[in-house]
Structure 1
Amino acid sequence: MKSGYIKIIILLSLLFVYGAASAEDLSHIPGAFVDIGYGARPMGMGGAFVGLADDRNAVMWNPAGLMKLKDQGVSFMWAKQLGFIPYNYFCYSRSLGEQYRIGGGLIFSGDDLMSETTFLISLASSLAKLNPFLEELALAMNLKIRSSSFGNNSDGDPDRVTGDAFGYGLDLGLMWIFSEKISFGMLLRDLLNDITWNSSQIELGASEYSESVPLEWTIGASYRHSPSSVMVIDVRKALYKDVEDRLIVGVEQKVFKIIYLRAGWGQNIGAKYSNQETGMGFGIVKQLKNFDFQFDFAYMLNDLKNTPRLGVSLNW
């Protein structure tokens, strides 16, 4: 019975994926609102997190994973992508009884030359009320509002292009907690989305056009060997001819009482350009009187520019 429901959900998702992937012939490598990988803990594991999604970062990686959380808390991440683009990321989640979880997130990147802001709301629900056999299955969605502005730098040319953008996005997540040790996850990022860009220049006047952020489909699995050790495997399936399948593997190991060591690796599958990326990092978790404090650090190594990420979380 449970496997039948899961097959139906996956089949419907594939129909949506096929329709969205066939809709355009434009380039499907995003140039704006790029997912750089948010959260120092997930990126310390190389970006393998969809199949685990067991902390506040589930808001971005797989909102269905919020059903694993019983408490409430906040997480913050800072990164300087490629050494010059600042990113600030904040997320929050809490329980709404046994049946629901709610979360939210905010991403701000860039400067006056060009800035991007994404605000999102997450809602996750167990499917136990539909059928007791579905107690370990959760569905979730993210509703995203996006905005951008560019050309507002005071040192720019008087005839520079200026403008703004506004749009929306919808993610769908699935989490199957198969056992205490094993879970499976799936994320359809930007299943529905659209962004309208407005620009103007003294000589050319104003213009407007719309485009979408390319859809991403990721499936993953996690295996918790012990309470202090976990392994995650994610596969990002290519939906367009100019995008490659990608495999990502990550591990986390608790050492001593408060320190977690992490590592991960990812690369394209069956492509001439492997685009390998390696992540490594650590976390320190300290239980205080009224809340838990967590500091996370990740360092990403790739062909373009190595990038550190710093994260802080409070859970209560």
Structure 2
Amino acid sequence: MALKKIVITSLFVMCFAFAKAQSTAAYSNEFINIGVDAAALGMSNAVVAQTDDVNSGYWNPAGLMRLEQKELSLMHSSYFANIAQYNYAAFAMPIDDQSSFGASLIRFSVDDILNTTQLIDSQGNINYDRISTFSTADWAFTVSYAREAKLDGFTYGGNFKVIRRVIGEFAKSWGFGFDVGAQFKRGDWEIGVMARDITTTYNTWTIDEEKFEEVRGAVENQNQDLPETTEVTLPKLQIGVARTFEFHYDHILTAEVDLNMRFIQTNDIISSSSVSATPAIGLEYGYIDMVFVRAGAGNFQNVQGIDGDETLNFQPNIGVGFKYRGISVDYALTNIGNGDDLYSNVFSVNIDLSVFSR
């Protein structure tokens, strides 16, 4: 029976890890907060003020107003030793001189998880043919709209998000939310504000209690509870200021400082009972608008060690990019796990679709 307990307990943990970990408002729908576009990730996500391409639908929909042509973006990355796969696709286009449109899709998944609940029958016989597989996947579909304001240099926009989360045949949920953003550009200075989940985002779970009891009942003397049937994602606020420096026309340096705020107490470097905040710093050097080198630091956290002493941890990111005739290929080395060698390689491609019509 020891083997039975091990395999079924392992399955139980995998099935409901996402649901239980997300059962509080502090960490609901965290997969959406990972970020998109290797160029932005290489700058530690400090792009809310300067974003100006198809990926603005994610970072700040107001930036879509800087689009001149239709654009397409694709990204893939693997996390946690290639166990989890993160895929992203986005499309955006100007509607007219005063408005733009965008749409994007994110899928974060762990596929082909072994289902061993039927491995051992009631007589204690092991039959490996009874092993099946399932996947756990989080989906986010976003529609974005941006407009130019009457004030020169000021743009604003919003997102409507649909969240779909699936854990095999055990549990499924739907969620809906809204974001709003604004940008102001004056000369070489840019200011950006992005408010996520402004009305709070609700996820409602449907759980197959029969299948859940099948797993829970197989592990004796355990007290596993059903995950929360409703999750609430609290609003988040990101404020950024960017400055562009031009040297001899061919060399451009862009620097941005952001402040990421959550309305709950966390381990962020700035923390209180009502709001927590952590800064992010990003730098991008570009040569003749073709070759780019990026670096950033963010996610500054106060971490308490075993000895009780607190240390300041942060997440460093670096990246490079190449752009030619409307096609950009970017790479970022990120430390999503903030230590323990959980580095992730992120690749993305942005395409100006007008290159195919010339």
TM normalised by structure 2 equals 0.71
Matches within 5 A, 1:113-192: 113-128=135-150, 134-152=151-169, 162-179=170-187, 181-192=188-199
Q: Distance in 1 between matches of 2:59 and 2:96?
A: 22
TM normalised by structure 1 equals 0.80
8 A contact 2:28–2:231 mirrored in 1: no
Matches within 5 A, 1:68-107: 68-83=66-81, 84-107=83-106
Q: What SS does the corresponding residue of 1:96 show, helix, strand or coil?
A: strand
The aligned counterpart of 2:118 is none
8 A contact 2:149–2:156 mirrored in 1: yes
Q: What SS does the corresponding residue of 2:33 show, helix, strand or coil?
A: coil
Give the superposition deviation at 1:88: 0.4
Structure 1 pair 59–31 and aligned structure 2 pair: CA distance change class (3 A): closer
8 A contact 1:224–1:231 mirrored in 2: yes
Letter in 1 for 2:198: L
Per-residue CA deviations over 1:252-281 (Å, capped at 9, x if unaligned) read 111366211111111426774534111111
Which stretch of structure 1 is more off in the superposition, 273-282 or 92-101?
Answer: 273-282
State whether structure 2 residue 333 is matched by structure 1 residue 299: yes
Give the superposition deviation at 1:89: 0.5
Which stretch of structure 1 is more off in the superposition, 108-117 or 265-274?
Answer: 265-274
Structure 1 pair 256–125 and aligned structure 2 pair: CA distance change class (3 A): closer
Q: Distance in 1 between matches of 2:95 and 2:345?
A: 34
Q: Distance in 1 between matches of 2:174 and 2:103?
A: 19
Which stretch of structure 1 is more off in the superposition, 261-270 or 245-254?
Answer: 261-270
8 A contact 2:267–2:302 mirrored in 1: no
Looking at CA atoms only, which structure, 1 or 2, has the larger radius of gyration?
2
Per-residue CA deviations over 1:273-292 (Å, capped at 9, x if unaligned) read 534111111111011xxxx1
8 A contact 1:190–1:215 mirrored in 2: yes
8 A contact 2:278–2:298 mirrored in 1: yes
**Count of paired positions:** 273
8 A contact 1:59–1:105 mirrored in 2: yes
The aligned counterpart of 2:209 is 201
State whether structure 2 residue 108 is matched by structure 1 residue 109: yes
Letter in 2 for 1:265: A
Give the superposition deviation at 1:26: 4.3
Q: Distance in 1 between matches of 2:85 and 2:294?
A: 24
Matches within 5 A, 1:140-289: 140-152=157-169, 162-179=170-187, 181-192=188-199, 193-202=201-210, 204=213, 209-226=229-246, 228-242=252-266, 244=268, 245-255=277-287, 258-268=290-300, 272=310, 274-287=312-325
RMSD of aligned alpha carbons: 2.2
Find 1:308's aligned residue among 345, 348, 357: 345
Q: What SS does the corresponding residue of 1:60 show, helix, strand or coil?
A: helix
Structure 1 pair 207–45 and aligned structure 2 pair: CA distance change class (3 A): closer
8 A contact 1:276–1:303 mirrored in 2: no
Q: Distance in 1 between matches of 2:79 and 2:279?
A: 22
8 A contact 2:293–2:320 mirrored in 1: yes
Runs of 5+ unmatched residues, structure 2: 1-22, 112-133, 215-225, 269-276, 304-309
Q: What SS does the corresponding residue of 2:240 show, helix, strand or coil?
A: strand
8 A contact 2:39–2:331 mirrored in 1: yes
Give the superposition deviation at 1:33: 3.6
The aligned counterpart of 2:222 is none
